[in-house]
Chains A and B, each alone.
Chain A
Amino acid sequence: MMEMPVVPFLIIFPVVMACLMYVARAENVRRVLAFCGAIVIMGASIVLAVQWFMNGKEVMTLYHETEVADHCILVAEILLMCVVTFLSFKYRKYWISLLSIFPTCAMVWYELAESGKNQQFLLRSNISASVAAIDPACHIYIDRLTILMCLIIGIIGGLIAIYAIGYMQGYHNHHKDVENRSHYFMMILFLFLGAMYGFVLSESLLWIDFFWELTSVCSFLLIGYTREKEAVHNSFRALWMNLFGGCALAVGIIYFAISERTVSLHVLVKMGEEGNNIATIAIALIAFAALTKAAQLPFSTWLIGAMVAPTPSSALLHSATMVKAGIYVLFRLSPAMHGTTTGTMIAFVGGFTFLITSLMAIAQSDGKKVLAFSTISNLGLMVACAGVGHPETIWAGVFLMIFHAISKSLLFQDVGATENSLHSRDVEDMHGLIYILPRLGMFMFIGIAGMFLAPFGMLISKWSALRASVDERNIILVLFIVFGSATTSLYWTKWMGKLVSHTHLTEAKMNDVTKPTEMISLSVHAVMMVLLCMLFPLLSTIYVSPLIKDMFGEAAGVLPDNILIMLVAIILLVFAVPIISFVYSRKMTFNRKGAYMNGVNTGDDRSFVDSFGERKTLWLSNHYYKDLVGSRKLMKPSQIFTLSVLIVMLVIIIGGAIV
């Protein structure tokens, strides 16, 4: 087995970059550094993927002896605890520090007192052959899912970092009241990427736990960037929810490690598949932790609160990192969740979140809020897919994850750039955006289309999620998906309609202040989005289906060949139709007429004569049904409902396993 130097590089380089960002106080130097650093990170992820492909696409297990690294991580973990405790005391949220102190102390105790006994695992006689086949001592594990995550983190995360360079400049021109701490912001951004790499590459549960805590703290620091009252409040909410999940994770890991004398993730999953009671409890706790990270109900509020931060951090939290960490863990656990109570719990909570938050999204008019609710809703669908734990649903879930990462990142960056030019991110103000800010409008259109319209991948994923949940005879999930996709279409279509409508006042173009770095990132995203749609069937056969085979040992017969071919045909047609109709309609001869306004149109279609004989401007608005489906009305009851479901289910699972 060859050593891969790029693996530690991926984890360490972003951390080095983070330090550099903090040190480089000169704006220009930092910008150049950040740009190069982001490119290097993107390149390194691609290098990792290529190297791994060259090596025969085999599962790789690396780093068996890691005493130095283990000690480093231990020290870092304690450091992290100190940071959280300090900040909790500084802002007088004393109890939150307990959520960090408890798991860290438990981890330290385990590492110092218990981990030496891990050799016993191999000596035990009662482990089954398939468990024994797993290498329990490795710390890094690379397979297709890891590579995919690395590519998402590297490419999307790298692009977001590039975007952030230009964005922060515009942000501070626009928000004079916020202290300019861009160096700090960029530092956390890079640190975050490093933590994510560590998280997806690790096989050791102890390492996973550390990187988990690190992402929680990074997101907390990003959300609180502006240090305004609301930002501080929201950041602490994000912190305690994620640390709470971290506690569950730590308890699960230590319980499993003490009982079974191993900290290998794959051993855990294999044992869970075989119905080991201890593994069942550990998996239930870890899955619960993943729910907090993936911002599922009842823990959704932290992600919505995260909107107060500058856009790159929202883009990062929503697309490439953080929430995807929760999904990643659930995907890893999914073979063990298939057909278990834990799986039912996760699938139910995910499906419920999918429906309820998509309803809440209808009532939002703030662009970023719509995006936030839609993220939670889409994550709900992915969580549900993982909970069902069927090869088909994981296939769907992986595609949902890919498409969601790209289009959400694109949309967040675009809304941010639009806000800098338009001075508003309200969907109502984006009326006719495609005419006044053509480039940003077009990107937004592509991004939204990617989220729900045929033939973009999201829809196909929904198709197969629906099929798999029928196969699994999961009635509730079928109903959630069916109604949830109707509500999802509603809020997206509503937004798209706003973009294409002719403008209220004037058709004159606005001054587009988008910086070149922002434009680079946006264009790359849009191109990736379109390419991915076209290459979607190819990606399925050469990558995602083998990935499913890695995980389940059987290939998912998701897309029969004839459907695959038809898909390509539809994709081409649906792309061609608007283009052809556009060209065709260009050639037509027209006679322009004023719009019908009961005969009192003042002549420009934008105003009419009112009953006093005066000119009145026309203003059109969408429906929002705030009283019917507003988050104020739905959030509390659904939180209480899901929380009680979770408590009852966890009691059943843990009680059932112990008794």
Chain B
Amino acid sequence: MSSAQFEIQLIASFVAIACAIPGTFLVLRKMAMISDAISHSILPGIVVGFFITQDLNSPLLILLAAVTGVITEVLVEYIQKTGLVKEDTAIGLVFPVLFSIGVIMIAKNANDVHLDIDAVLLGELAFAPFDRLFVSGVDIGPKSLWIIGSILIVTLVLLYAFFKELKLSTFDKGLAASLGFSPAIIHYGLMSISSITTVGAFDAVGAILVVALMIAPPASAYLLTKDLKKMLLLSACFGVFCAISGYWLAHWLDASIAGSITTMLGLLFLLVYLFAPSKGVIAVLYREKQQRTEVSLLTFLLHLKNHDEASERHVNHLNEHINWQKVRSKTVLDLALKNNMIEIENQVVSLTPKGDEFTTQAIDYIITNEDAQIEDMKEDFFLFRG
């Protein structure tokens, strides 16, 4: 591994952590699409800054772009407030317009400007180590490493300093406001940090990767934990993991690093989405199936309790009476048998004392409208779940 390779991975990891922190809050506050809007609409800010400074790494550029980001947010909120269109439409209207203005500005001055829209949107991490920062003639590392490093440090300091304010205003806006934390300041603070991170990272990794790094790791982490601190930590780890593995994927395929990192993020999210222990799709589908069987079981037991006559409780009759398919009836019967809720004599089903007790309690809960309690009851009665 050469030093350039190491530096690229370091920059990518820094970007990943710097994005994961504001990203977590954006995901939790249901503002994820704002990051996408900002990443597009900072383009005119960057272009104007570039006209003035002729340098893609100047701090003025970052400042102007961050201002454009905040302007985007203000515009979106203004349009929302007029009530003429819904919030999502407001976002969808504002950023393409700003982006178009940026594109046109670049196109009109194409002869004087060496600024490529592709580069802004996609970035080229591979070139990042070649743009180095010199302090009094000494090479102290790539410029982008310093930029994203300082943004990361500022973000971490702010996170540490305002953690409880952020946490509170994210989960209970009303309480935060009544305790005297201005929601507006926290909101715009978060927006500014997101804009600055987006801008600081765009030159190295491009606007799209920034969005991916802001949303994908926190979204994956959110499926695995409910604890804010764990979520922050987990998304930072996911981000760094994808950044490094993505780099090697790009190295192997000889393709865009930003694209590979995003692909790794996509794979990671897909894995978590499918296999997350309690919130993944497979777990959810399994639980839904279990619930369905158990509800059927309950219906079946209630039916048994209501009918004493043997004809109503005959195995074949149940099939047609409750209108279940054969397989389903068999599953339910087997489950009931396994849990000692019923016994079958001469094809006639009857409740055992345990089944009777379970059903009586369930009826109590149902008529007092406390259906949720049945879930707890299942823990006590079931040896096997559906």
Indicate whether A and B interact: no
Q: Which B residues have a C-beta under 8 Å from some C-beta of A? A: none
Q: Which A residues have a C-beta under 8 Å from some C-beta of B? A: none
